[in-house]
Every structure is written in structure tokens, then in C-alpha cells.
Copies of this chain bind each other. A is one copy, B any other.
Amino acid sequence: LVESWSFLDTAESNFRPLVVIELAKGTKEETIEWFTKRIVDKKANGGAQLLVKPLVTENEVENIYLVGASHLRLLLGAEAVGLVKECSDNSMRTFTYSSRKTFKHYADDNHDFLTMAECQYIIKHELENLRAKEEKMIPGYPQAKLYPGKSVVRRLLTSGILVQIFPLHDREELKKLSHSWYGRVKIGYQPLDDIRCYFGETIALYFGFLEYFTFALIPMAVIGIPYYVFAWEDYDKYVMFATFNLLWSTVILEVWKRMCAILTYRWGTLLMKRQFEEPRPGFHGVLGINPVTGREEPMYSSIKRQLRIYLVSLPFVCLCLYFSLYVMMIYFDLEQWALDYHKENESNFSSLMLYVPSIIYAVVIEIMNLIYRYAAEFLTSWENHRLESSYQNHLILKVLVFNFLNCFASLFYIAFVMFDMKLLRQSLATLLITSQILNQFAESLLPYWLQKRYNRRMKKRMCSTKTDMDLSLAEQVNMEKEMGTYLGTFDDYLELFLQFGYVSLFSCVYPLAAVFAVLNNITEIYSDALKMCRVYKRPFAEPTANIGVWQLAFETMSVISVVTNCILIGMSPEVDALFPDSKMDLVLTVALVEHLLLAIKFIMAFVIPDKPRDIQMKLAKLEFESLEALKQQVRAFQMQLHFVLIHH
């Protein structure tokens, strides 16, 4: 009887497959038995208390299992992960099973109270928290060691027994979403709430940022167009544009924080408590006692890691930077050669040839970025960081520094060493446009086309002419498991970051950059949406409250752009003419203006509150309530004590 509950709802009618587990071909029977038993086992016995069903396919060699959970189990899991949902009185509160009736749309038979993405996130969390008890190794694989408290799934993944875990798509929902997202050509906002329901907060927030950023660029683009149309070359106009640009970029970054707070409050992640961070899967070391948790887990000396960072990674990054500068010098040689060629034979072809070095250089930059990216990932992983967040920070820092130099060094050189504004404008335009075209192609169209071709062959093999909607579960799983894995929003943010650099660093010499950025971002929204819906496996939802380190990266870029733009304006012949007597006065004025602008930037960043007033009020209300509840507890306890003291 006691055993019965966990298997109770395994009945076909109740089982809704949510997550797919693919084990390696030829995984030993005893391992499979042990693993599935652990998954369905009761919480009290250290299991995950989920439901598991093997996928029945004609292909017998494949070990694919579907994981689901009973409605009750999911609600308890929602409490365990600390999900925040909307209450009937429109406030956001942390969900608990005992207070479930106070939540909006809750009903005992409403199985849509938790979105599918939330259910999948809960299952992922429960699977990852399935921990070894007394097992010393994974049954059947003596080399895959376990110790009490080690996450079973992580060990299975690192030892290659578990090939992948991924959440299933919901064909119907996906169709609805993709229709409202990119299916029809329309002017308007993206369905961010629907995206969040389907893909989770991290991805929805990226699309929110992409949309916000695009809208924020429109004023710059609108002001930039007449510069091109009327071929305005007066520097006073450029100065106006640059000043607007600088203040604008500060404002949009500050306002984004407020927008982000509004979105994540609505989604509940602003209030979500940070979970305790477990070691990342790749982390290895000698078993020891973690002083924080008191648990046995691998330990790795922080000094060793520091040595690896400062003696290997840092020199390597410097070397790469040097190499990048070397390539830049080759580009300048090429540029010179093209110019000479153009001078020798003035023809249409030769004037076209002027653009070739920049295009080649742009392609080379993209290739170098790509190779460096792999190297940085390898190095950072080799540094053996304990936490995923620390790994991510080191990776992002490495990649940002290199990409910044790789993309912008030539522009800085042209602007501040060669003082060639015409070449700067030409280079900037070519680099920006080429990199945008390459990115759009490499990121979305290529994978989409490959996926399409694969799907067509797949369907042919299955001898059917069914549309996506009619696929059986087995066919759907087989199709999705071959799809590429979405590796997170890193590359998408990086692309936006570099674009922001192109737009703002030299905005006063090339106002048209904003126009190209807007155009690119509109297609980017569509191609990224397509990528998410059609090209990649569904990713697990990740709750997040902000865009993290990218906010800092964008703000740093906007500080640097104040400096570059001030120098560019100072170097212009028109501004020069204002100070005919003394170069000194010019430089001092420029320096003064720059410091003033920086001071205004910092004061603005300080004065504009990061959260809108109503969100602040709601947060204050929640804090007040929890403090009151605590006080009530203390008071109730004191009353009890009072009685005890009197009656004894």
C-alpha cells in the first residue's frame, strides 16, 4: 500500500510526457533498472517520485524514456523550487501547497495552473537533485564513482551513460506561439508573456531586450537618416547627434532596468529566492568536506585555479590579442594595396576593389571570434571553476575583451592614429554590414536549412506525408532528439553588444549605423524566433530576474563611447576652427566637456531609480508582510510561553 502512491498515476490515461531521457545505446540492463527505480522511488526513500515510461519505437536498440509527474507532485515541486505565482488579489507570492487556494486560476482539477515550461523546469530540478545514497558507483559501471549526496544525473551525464535530457515540444502550443510571434507580418510587440510561458524567463528576457533595444535605436536611426539623405557634413550637426546619442544611450540603459523589473515582477522571477548553487557538472577534484555545506564533495584548491588563470589563461588571451592586432596590420597593408590599385587604374572594378579588404577583414574577424570562442570555452573549463556562475563570468570576460579588441581595434587605429575619417566611415560601414549578414546566415538560416533537409529525409524514411501535427509521439521524440541544442543566450547578447559598439563608439562620424542596426534587429527578431521554434530542441526554462553581466557590459561600452566621441568631435576641422588661436584651449575644452558628460552620466545613473515606483511599493508591501508574519510568530510564541509560565 505504501508503495502504491508513487506508481498510482502511472496509468496511461494520466501520464503526460514532459521530459525525454536518452540513454546511450547498449546501456546495461541493471543500470537502467536502478536509474528508473530511483526516479520513481518515493521522496522518503531518496527518490524523485516522478513517473517514467519507456518510449515504444520500432527501433529496439534505442533507450529512450519519457518522464512525467502527477499533478500533485508537480505542485509540491513548484513549492520546492520556490516558484512565484500571481494570487487572486493580483499580488505575486511564493507558491506553497498549503496556500494553493489563494492563487489565481488555481483549481484542483486545473492542470494548466502550472505552464508546461514550469512543469519541465520542476522535473529537471527534481532529476538533478536526485542524489546518491549509499551507492559507491553507478550499478554496472564501476568506473563511474558516486559518493553520498552526488547528483546521479550529473554523474550519468559526465560518464556518458546519459546522452541527453530535454523537454518535449508541445506541437499545438508551438504552432499558436509561432503564428502570433513571427507567422504573420505585423507591426507590434512580440508576445513576450507567451514566449515566457513556452520558453522560460531567460529567453523571453532576451527577446524583450532585443525588442526594447530596437525600439530605443529608432530615434537614433530617424535622426541619422537625414545625415545620409542630405549628405550633411557640417560638424556642428554631428556634434548635436553625438551629444544626443550619449545622453540617449545612458537613458535607454537605465530605463531598461526599469522595464526589466516590470517584466520580471509580472513573471514572478524578481521575487524568486536564489537557490543554493551546486557545483557545475564539469567540476572535478579530490573528495573533501565542503566547509559551507558540510557535505562530502570534490574540492579543488583555489590557488591552483588562480595559477591556471594567471599563468596560462592570461598569457594566452594576451597572445590572442597580439595576434588580432597583427592581423589588423595585414588588413591595413591590404587596404593600402587596394588604394594604390585604385589610383593606378581608375575603373568601376577598382573602386569596388576598395571595399574588398574590409569585407575580407570582417570575415576574418568573425572566423577569429569563432575560433577564440572555442579556445576560451576550453580554457575556462580547464580552469575548473566550482560554480556555473563563476565559469560564466570568466568566460564572458575572456570573450568580451577579445571580441572588443578584435572588432574595434582597426577602427580605433584608423580614428586616432591615422586620423582618416573617410576610411573610418567606410570601414565601419563594411564591418557592420558584413558581420550582420554573416551572423544572420550562420546563426539561423544555415541551421534552419540543414534541419529542413534532415526533416525531409527523416519523413521520407518514415514513408509518410503527415504534417508536423499528425506525428505520433514516438516520431516526434525521434525528430526532436536529433535537433541541435540551443546553447543559451550568450551569443545573441554578444552580437547585440558588438552592434551597440558599432553604433555608439563612432556615432558622430557615421549616424547611419543606427539605421542598419534597426534593420538588422527587425530581421534578427524573426530569425531568432524561427531558430527557437523550428531549429533547436526546446530548451529548459531558466528563471532569471535580469540580463546579468550584460547590463554592466553595455554600460561600460556607453562610458567608452563618451570618450571616443568627445575625441572625434575635438579632432574635427569645424570644431578646430572655433579655436583658431590656441590648440590648447581646444583640447582643454574637449576634456572639460568629456568630464562633464561623464559626470552627468553617473549622476543620471544614480538618480533614475532602478525599479518603477509601483514595483518598489509592491516589493515593500511583500517585505512588510513577511516581517509582520515573523512578528506574529514571535508574538504567538510569547503568548504560549506566557500561559506555560502561569499554569505551571
Q: Contacts of A97 on B, CB cut-off 8 Å?
A: 637-638, 641
- Is A292 in contact with chain B by the CB < 8 A criterion? yes
- Is A588 in contact with chain B by the CB < 8 A criterion? yes
Cross-interface CB contact of A587 among B80, B291, B584, B631, cutoff 8 Å: B584
- Is A1 in contact with chain B by the CB < 8 A criterion? yes
Complex: A97 Cα to B43 Cα, angstroms: 33
Q: Are the C-beta atoms of B291 and A617 separated by less than 8 Å?
A: yes
Question: Which residues of A from 630 to 648 have beta carbons under 8 Å from B?
Answer: 631, 634-635, 637-639, 641-642, 645-646
Q: Contacts of A98 on B, CB cut-off 8 Å?
A: 637
Q: Main secondary structure on chain A at its contact with chain B? A: helix
Q: Which of A26-34, A53-61, A141-149, A619-627 contacts its partner? A: A619-627
- Is A597 in contact with chain B by the CB < 8 A criterion? no
- Is A76 in contact with chain B by the CB < 8 A criterion? yes
- Is A563 in contact with chain B by the CB < 8 A criterion? yes
Q: Contacts of A291 on B, CB cut-off 8 Å?
A: 617, 621
Q: Contacts of A641 on B, CB cut-off 8 Å?
A: 76, 97
Q: Contacts of A5 on B, CB cut-off 8 Å?
A: 642, 645-646
Q: Which residue of B lies closest to A614 (CB)?
A: B291
Complex: A631 Cα to B131 Cα, angstroms: 15
Q: Contacts of A377 on B, CB cut-off 8 Å?
A: none
Q: Which residue of B lies closest to A622 (CB)?
A: B292
Complex: A641 Cα to B100 Cα, angstroms: 14
Q: Are the C-beta atoms of B80 and A631 separated by less than 8 Å?
A: yes
Q: Are the C-beta atoms of A76 and B638 separated by less than 8 Å?
A: yes
Q: A76-B638, A631-B80, A637-B97 are in contact. Are A292 and B621 (CB under 8 A)?
A: yes
Complex: A536 Cα to B143 Cα, angstroms: 73
Contact with B along A1-19 (1 / 0, CB 8 A): 1101100000000000000
For residue A339, give the distance in angstroms from its CB to the closest CB of chain B: 28
Complex: A588 Cα to B293 Cα, angstroms: 54
Q: Contacts of A43 on B, CB cut-off 8 Å?
A: 635, 638-639, 642
Complex: A635 Cα to B97 Cα, angstroms: 12
Q: Are the C-beta atoms of A639 and B563 separated by less than 8 Å?
A: no
- Is A326 in contact with chain B by the CB < 8 A criterion? no
Complex: A617 Cα to B293 Cα, angstroms: 10
Question: Which residues of A from 76 to 99 have beta carbons under 8 Å from B?
Answer: 76, 79-80, 97-98
Contact with B along A267-284 (1 / 0, CB 8 A): 000000101100000000
- Is A591 in contact with chain B by the CB < 8 A criterion? yes
Q: A97-B641, A627-B276, A631-B80 are in contact. Are A563 and B292 (CB under 8 A)?
A: no
Q: Are the C-beta atoms of B292 and A624 separated by less than 8 Å?
A: yes
Complex: A646 Cα to B4 Cα, angstroms: 9
Q: Which residue of B lies closest to A582 (CB)?
A: B583
Q: Are the C-beta atoms of B292 and A627 separated by less than 8 Å?
A: no
- Is A44 in contact with chain B by the CB < 8 A criterion? yes
Q: Are the C-beta atoms of A639 and B44 separated by less than 8 Å?
A: yes
For residue A633, give the distance in angstroms from its CB to the closest CB of chain B: 10
For residue A321, give the distance in angstroms from its CB to the closest CB of chain B: 17
Q: Contacts of A624 on B, CB cut-off 8 Å?
A: 276, 292-293
- Is A111 in contact with chain B by the CB < 8 A criterion? no
Q: A584-B583, A642-B5, A646-B1 are in contact. Are A80 and B292 (CB under 8 A)?
A: no
14 sample A-B contacts, Cβ–Cβ < 8 Å, listed by A number: A2-B646, A4-B646, A43-B638, A43-B642, A44-B642, A76-B641, A80-B634, A97-B637, A276-B624, A291-B617, A292-B621, A292-B624, A293-B624, A584-B587
The 7 closest A-B pairs by CB, nearest first: A292-B620, A292-B621, A587-B587, A276-B627, A583-B584, A76-B638, A276-B624
Given contacts A5-B645, A275-B627, 13 further A-B contacts (CB under 8 A): A43-B642, A44-B639, A44-B642, A80-B631, A80-B634, A97-B637, A97-B641, A292-B620, A292-B624, A293-B621, A293-B624, A583-B584, A584-B587
